[in-house]
Structure 1
Amino acid sequence: MEEVKVVYAFIKNIDNEILMVYNHEGHWSLPGGRVEVNETRTEAVIRETFEETGYKVTIGSLLAVNEAKFTKRNHHALFFTFEAQIVAGAEEITLPHEISHIEWTAMDTANYRMPYYSQGLDKLLEHLAFYSNEGTI
């Protein structure tokens, strides 16, 4: 199986709503996507968030690492979810062939749409993990 690295941005507003995108594969997720060759995870989440939402973000703590095997695609996927904050930009669907909706969603709705965070999205901020890019050695 091919190992695939995927990153997501967990962005919460002052109303405790979560930024979500609806993609053409037919499901809601946090903004994010596949890490490209020679790209760090944080570079990827910044790029993917901007491409999908029009927002520029800064990255905070690593919140979760999940993995799954997708037999139909022959992928072993590793998912990295990072805390992120919007610092610039305006909401815009810049990749309409990939994303059809951008929505600020109540926490309970986000939890329902993304059941693979078994503890719930609201619990992610309680258990921060450390992430460090050690650079090229």
Structure 2
Amino acid sequence: MKRVDVAYAFIFNEIEQKDLMVKNKSSGWSLPDGAVEKGETFEQAAMRESKEETNLIIKTEHIVAINEAFFENKGHHALFITYKAKIVKGAIQIIHKDEVDDIKWMDINTANQLMPYHDGGVESLLESSAPYTFQG
């Protein structure tokens, strides 16, 4: 199986209690995400993909989830790392209309339905934190 690394950005508006989600043409709704490119860290990928998908510049805070899956039909072994992130600047805009259909702030219940792979839902991501050190 081919190893595929994917980085996600969990951007949560604490005042409105909503998180930012992207509707990708190929895979439906998810957090801003994408494959880690050669020579790139997971953190760099999360920031780059957020900019490419939403036009937002973000700052990652910490890892809130690590998921792993086998996709037998594609022959992939995937590792997903999700970072909690804050918006630094920018306005939401679809840059790549051939890849992204929509971008929306989703309430917690809707987000939980769209992301059933996080035990405890979005609420668990708000409480989670894992140390991370890039060692060069």
TM-score (norm 1): 0.95
Whole-Å Cα distance in 2 between the matches of residues 120 and 93 of structure 1? 26
One-letter amino acid of the counterpart of residue 23, structure 2: Y
> Tell me, which stretches of 5 or more residues in structure 1 are unaligned?
none
Identity over aligned residues, as a percent? 45
Deviation at 1:26, TM superposition (A): 4.0
Deviation at 1:58, TM superposition (A): 0.3
One-letter amino acid of the counterpart of residue 17, structure 2: N
- Of stretches 125-134 and 100-109 in structure 1, the one that deviates more from structure 2 is 125-134
CA RMSD of aligned residues (A): 0.8
> What secondary structure, in the 3-state scheme, does the structure 1 residue paired with 2:127 have?
coil
Partner of 2:7: 7
1:1-137 superposed matches below 5 A: 1-13=1-13, 14-135=15-136
Q: Which runs of 4+ in 1 moved over 2 A?
A: none
> What secondary structure, in the 3-state scheme, does the structure 2 residue paired with 1:125 have?
helix
TM-score (norm 2): 0.96
Q: How many residues get paired? A: 135
CA separation of 1:24 and 1:6: change in aligned 2, threshold 3 A: same
